[in-house]
Structure 1
Amino acid sequence: MKKRVLILGILVILGLALSMFLTTGGSAKQTVSPDTKTGPELKHSLPQPGDSAPDFVLADMEGRSLKLSDLRGKKVLINFWATWCQPCHDEMPELVQKYEEYKDKIAFYGINLTNMEGGNLSEMRNFLQQYHVSYPVLLDKEGRVANQYKIIGIPTTLTIDANGIIVDRFTGSLTETNMERMIQNLLKR
């Protein structure tokens, strides 16, 4: 049963990735910004730079809740990920390094797509230990927040300014250069 769910999840992600690839003119990695040329249906459906970040409440692995709007006044970086996602593995060491470097200036949060993990918290804990992730990880158990943010591929990273406005959105594994650019754009706000 778990294999079928995993295979179905992978097929859905591959289908969404192909759709994104075709929609973006062949570029699977894309930063969505106000001046990015995308299909009108994609541009208007994604919460994107300049939009208010949709509010949500999620619990962490210990059951403590976090409401995004309670972070107003702080700069925030959110990274949507899953343990089975190889690009999530690829970018995690750099993300952890940036957290250590900027944790006094930016609130980092991981959002695990728990609805696609099969509820395996021990696997998530192993992943977090493997990469020494010390920033808070929130569990999107029903996929509601991923739906609010129109997450069509993972990892997806967003930065949000102190007023709750999305500064940047990037789908795909971030390189050190792209991650630093997003952070610097956020710090300027």
Structure 2
Amino acid sequence: MRKWTKWTTGLVFVAAFAVIVYVLVANLAGEENEPTAAVATTLTLTDFATKLPRTVDFAEMPTVLQVFTSWCPYCNEDAPKLVELQKKYEDQIHVIGINLYPRDTEEDLAAYLAKHDITYPVLLDEDGSLYEKLGKTGFPALFFMDAKGEVASSRIGSIDKRDMEEFLQLAPLLR
């Protein structure tokens, strides 16, 4: 009986370890996903700063959406890169943060924004419906949206600055 218990316990630990390694490798490598269906030509969510509804019009300017949480280590790693991207292309693209608010607290989100000096709009996906529309792919997740509200390109997991630039060029989002 003890031998059976040891084997079962060992098998459970090996399986759990394999899942953890897979998730870490997928996040570190960053997985490219096929674009999902259109979100809509506009998107309206609550703006964290003003607590009022804010509408993003995808036809106005190409848009980069970043789905994130404040406690995600890869989101924290990518935040400064996205801030730089927003500053470099502020006249050519919208950069919008989409916080998975049910998974965060107001205090943690405010601290995250201050820590990374985030000045682009951060909208709250309060019920997770946008995240679900985008395929519940993981985070951080970058979605490069075209004027029709369709995902032109996406990237799941951490991404370096050079790859962010390449995605913008390939999408093609820059005017």
Fold shared by both chains (TM-score > 0.5): yes
Contact 1:56 1:145 in 2 (8 A): no
Question: What corresponds to 2:51 in structure 1?
Answer: 63
SS in 2 for 1:162: coil
Greater C-alpha Rg: 2
Contact 1:81 1:154 in 2 (8 A): yes
Superposition map of 1:60-99 within 5 A: 60-61=47-48, 62-68=50-56, 70-99=57-86
Determine if the alignment matches structure 1 residue 187 to structure 2 residue 157: no
Question: What corresponds to 2:124 in structure 1?
Answer: 139
Count of aligned residue pairs for this structure pair:
151
Q: Deviations over 1:32-69 (max 9, x none)?
A: 24xxxxxxxxxxxxxx16x423464211111221234x
What is the TM-score normalised by the length of structure 1? 0.71
SS in 2 for 1:187: coil
Contact 2:70 2:108 in 1 (8 A): yes
Determine if the alignment matches structure 1 residue 171 to structure 2 residue 156: yes
Determine if the alignment matches structure 1 residue 31 to structure 2 residue 16: no
Q: What's the CA shift for 1:93?
A: 0.7
Distance 2:87 2:174 in 1: 19
Structure 1 residues without counterparts, runs of 5 or longer:
1-14, 34-47
Contact 1:83 1:124 in 2 (8 A): yes
Report the residue type matching 1:79 in the other structure: Q
Question: What corresponds to 1:9 in structure 2?
Answer: none
Flag the 1:149–1:96 CA change in 2: closer, same or farther, 3 A.
same
Question: What corresponds to 2:146 in structure 1?
Answer: 161
Match of 1:53 among 15, 39, 42: 39
Structure 2 residues without counterparts, runs of 5 or longer:
1-15
The percent identity for this pair of structures is: 24
Report the residue type matching 1:52 in the other structure: A
Q: What's the CA shift for 1:135?
A: 0.1
What is the TM-score normalised by the length of structure 2? 0.77
What RMSD in Å do the two structures reach over aligned CA positions?
2.3
Contact 1:79 1:156 in 2 (8 A): yes
Distance 2:141 2:103 in 1: 15
Contact 1:76 1:161 in 2 (8 A): yes
Q: What's the CA shift for 1:142?
A: 1.4
Question: What corresponds to 2:3 in structure 1?
Answer: none
